[in-house]
Structure 1
Amino acid sequence: MATRIKTKAADAPQTMAQVQSDIRKIGDLQREHGRVSADLNDQVAKLTDAAAPMLKDLQEQVASLQKGVQIYCEANREELCGKGKTANLVTGEVQWRQRPPSVKVTGVDAVIAWLKNMGMNAFIRSKEEINKEAMLNEPEKAKGVPGVSIVTGVEDFVIVPFEVDTEVAA
């Protein structure tokens, strides 16, 4: 893992030995961070596994009760709501809401081709955007465009502690 550093000069090591020691410490701290993260993830996985059966049972109970309430309310909608769409039942309310219209498209490429073929271009959206890759390929030409600058020569300082990567065979 690479680390970008911003530090005060007073905190900076003064010798090569101190730099080497600090890089080793950075590696040690990064590995410890990884171990703590792995332990945390292990604990989360155990808690999730332990709670999963109870959560599934609770969800099934809720779904069953919802289905029953819906069946009753559908059968008695006019009595509950009159001409409205909401019924206040003291412990909560039930509502019937019309979803807004939506468009579902399957086979996008085929639909676009058909729309183009039929001259229905109003149903096709074209997005205009700056082609930054083309500008990088022709930086001299792009520099003349107002509002465009080509950024070059930015240098990052990166520390990469040496580590041995090991893999666990599955």
Structure 2
Amino acid sequence: NDLRTFARQSGPCMSPFNAWMFSQGLQTLPLRIERHCENALGLANYLASHPLVSQVRYPFLASHPQHALARRQMKAGGGIVTFEVAGGIEQGRRFLDNLQLCSLTANLGDARTTATHPASTTHYATPDEQRRAVGITPGLIRISVGLEHIDDIIRDIERALALSSEARLAEPAQG
């Protein structure tokens, strides 16, 4: 009711400037989506052979369980890549702490590459058993791949993986 009243009183249309900005964005949308998808596939391929990564989830990787379905239904695999780092929640946090180019946020689809560690951010309050049931493991990292040059994205992620691994190895043994 309140929304309906507001719309009636304010008019449910954009200002001319906002409409122009929206139109400008739509004109370049196909180019941006193409770059997101190309970069995501490049990153997924890189991570799939990385020794510090135990699993990569991206629908256009042949290792994905629904790869054939994705190829039939989609032109590209999208801009989201998820991967698993060994070492659990602390390793995931260390990885994020060592990123420089990638922004730390739960936002998806930005022009910039963003990263999140769902187990310690968006799903922190969810019990571990429920997180695991929906595929959110302690070392899961979610990357929304942006429009930067793929070499820059890979370099940042490689650096963060290496530094977070060194930090883990430098910790005193528990026990």
Could you tell me the TM-score, scaled by structure 2's length? 0.26
Could you tell me the TM-score, scaled by structure 1's length? 0.26
- Name which one, 1 or 2, has greater alpha-carbon Rg: 1
- Which of the pair is proportionally richer in strand? 2
Greater relative contact order, per chain length (Cα 8 Å cut-off, separation 6+): 1
